[in-house]
Amino acid sequence: MTAILQALADGAVIAKRNVIKIKRVPEVLMFVLISPIMFVLLFAYVFGNSIDIPGGSYREFLIAGIFAQTVVFGATFTGAGLAEDMQKGIIDRFRALPMSRAAVLIGRTASDVVYNVLSLLIMALTGLAVGWRANAGFVSAVAGFLLLLLFAYAFSWVMGYVGLLVPTPEVINNASFVVIFPLTFVANTFVPAENLPTPLRVFAEWNPISAVTQAARELFGNIPPGTPEPTVWPLQNPVAYSLLWVVAIIAVFAPLAVRRYRKMANRR
């Protein structure tokens, strides 16, 4: 218990350091805030009139998908940040300090939640401007945002592990784009899964991004009346399926990331 508390306390210090860094590198913050606005406006106004959502509004259908895509892409800041700290030798300094081996990873993943909170706030305001509404009430909407942040936090552990494997931030940015881009597009994020060809539809139905998006739509009250009930368990129980993925991802990748960090510390 003492070791856990020490890791959390040290992680809080690292998280504070990473949050302070936001003020010193405002260009990163600007990208975090502008990118979601561009996605919302692009899909709402360029593609919105071409995609029909029976009984509902495409803009309300869209926003949950934009939320899910953006927070998953936001998780790449964890990997890029760790790769950058390794490249600059900051990780070597951390290893020389009397601190928990898990603190750097705990602090990095926790501080990147701040980026996602800011992104969700900006996207929500932009969504309201283009016609999106959370129709299920305040408490349900908060639950939707919390689920998105929780999934993003879990996914940041994947990126944290990858960030300890690659030599530079550029590599992780390119590698993560290759993986995350199809993962977020072969889903129900921007079009209904049933509109996809059969092989892609099956993948989309079991894709955790689809479950997170479906859960957010339900919690925001953005499922149009008369929408057919999903035929697969993940989309019938999207909150439970999303939480199962959160637990599985953290259970697998948190120990892997900490073990990788310790291995690097022992090697140098």
- Cα within 13 Å of Cα(161), Cβ side: 15
Contact yes or no for 113/194 (Cβ under 8 A): no
Tell me which residue range forms the domain holding 171. 2-267
How open is the CA angle 38-148-151, to the nearest 5 degrees? 120
- The number of folded domains in the chain is 1
pLDDT digits (tens, 9 = 90+) for 218-243: 999 998 877 788 889 999 999 999 99
pLDDT at 96: 72
> Going by C-beta distance under 8 Å and a sequence separation of 6 or more, which residues neighbour residue 86?
163, 164, 167
- For residue 233 the two structure tokens come to 């368990």
pTM: 0.90
Residue type, 38: M
Measured CA to CA, the distance from residue 135 to residue 82 in angstroms comes to 39
Measured CA to CA, the distance from residue 202 to residue 258 in angstroms comes to 34
pLDDT digits (tens, 9 = 90+) for 113-163: 888 888 888 888 888 888 888 888 899 999 999 999 999 999 999 988 888
Number of Cβ atoms within 10 Å of the Cβ of 131: 14
Going 100 to 102 to 104 to 107, the CA torsion angle's sign is: negative
pLDDT at 238: 96
Contact yes or no for 71/119 (Cβ under 8 A): yes
